Amino acid sequence: MNESVNISTELWKEILQDKEISTEPVIQILSFLFNSDGYSASGGEVAFALNYKHHAPLNRIIPDFSKRILKKYPFIDPPHRGNGTIRYWHVPFLGTDSEDGFVWILRPELAEALPQVFQNISKDKKLTVLQEIEKLKHSYETLQETTREAVIQSRIGQGQFRTSLIGYWQGCSVSGCSQFEILKASHIKPWRYSTNEERLDVFNGLLLLPNLDTCFDSGLISFEDDGKIMISNKLSEATVLQLGIDPNLKLSQVEEKHKGYLRFHRENIFRP
């Protein structure tokens, strides 16, 4: 899925400086990804962080960005699908299409070009650009093949992680609903903050109904160590009622190994 594209760091710098190609919304998206761990985030995470009501606008912004690039630089050979159509997402990004959305990862050459064009973009980075790019290139290479495959599959919500959560919870972690096809596998400590081991740890996961999953991932609900739900003040009473979120809801079980992950969510993701 992650075919190369013949855009060098120097060409990306030229593209980024062309305001007719790299519009302000595009730069905001690229900047957010640059400052995300591993230069990676889902479309939903980007939309939420940039205050879009839905990820749909991103579905226009990025393909249009790529189309402008290809129009001005016709020598660029973009990645194609099996049917011959262009994968516009894959011009600026590595990543994977999945049922849960698109996981975006900045191409290393683009990640290297961004701070050279926008000098303030790297002020919050703990590693230099080149160090982080090297980390990106080799992040999975140190894993054993079976572990690497499990991590990749868990990232797109299809593999070992979801299967493990279904086996552990036997239904929604809160309601007990066992209509598994509608339940969402959610990391308690988000993927971008977790080690590879934590990303596969069954105790770092909840199986939730879609309304609870969205609120949990957005920090609008969380859970105490005894499993009792916490509801953010940013959710209006009317919305709480519409979503069917009862303040007496709680996780069906909490083991000691859950508590560190729950504490991380309360302290870093939950918005009181």
Q: Are 112 and 38 in contact (CB under 8 A)?
A: no
Q: What is the structure's pLDDT at 145? A: 54
CA angle 241, 189, 207 (to 5 degrees): 50
Give the mean model confidence (pLDDT) for residues 89-98: 76
pLDDT exceeds 80 at position 125: no
> Where is pLDDT greater, at 4 or 63?
63
Residue with tokens 């709680």: 250
pLDDT exceeds 60 at position 37: yes
pLDDT exceeds 70 at position 128: no
> Spelled out in words, what is the top-level CATH class assigned to the domain 9-138?
mainly alpha
| Chain segment 197-215, per-residue pLDDT in tens | 888 889 999 999 999 999 9
53 CA to centre of own chain: 16
pLDDT tier at 58, thresholds 50, 70, 90: confident
pLDDT exceeds 60 at position 168: yes
pLDDT tier at 156, thresholds 50, 70, 90: very low
C-alpha to C-alpha distance for 111 and 133, rounded to whole angstroms: 7
Q: What is the structure's pLDDT at 144? A: 55
Give which of 175, 164, 177 is closest to 205, Cα–Cα: 164
Give the mean model confidence (pLDDT) for residues 128-154: 51
> Where is pLDDT greater, at 225 or 183?
225
- For residue 106, the cross-strand partners are 93
Q: What is the structure's pLDDT at 129? A: 45
pLDDT exceeds 90 at position 106: no
Q: What is the structure's pLDDT at 123? A: 44
Q: What is the structure's pLDDT at 111? A: 87
Give the mean model confidence (pLDDT) for residues 120-134: 48
**Which of 5-19, 29-43, 147-161 shows the lowest mean pLDDT across its residues?**
147-161
Q: What is the structure's pLDDT at 137? A: 47
**Which of 11-15, 32-36, 50-54, 148-152 shows the lowest mean pLDDT across its residues?**
148-152
pLDDT tier at 124, thresholds 50, 70, 90: very low
**Main-chain phi, psi angles of 56, to 5 degrees:** -55, -40
| Chain segment 62-82, per-residue pLDDT in tens | 999 999 999 999 999 888 877
> Where is pLDDT greater, at 228 or 186?
228
Q: Other CB atoms closer than 10 Å to residue 46's CB: what's the count?
A: 23
Give the mean model confidence (pLDDT) for residues 41-62: 79
Q: What is the structure's pLDDT at 196? A: 77
C-alpha to C-alpha distance for 269 and 263, rounded to whole angstroms: 10
Query: CATH 1.10.10 occupies which residues in the chain?
Result: 9-138
Q: What is the structure's pLDDT at 166? A: 87
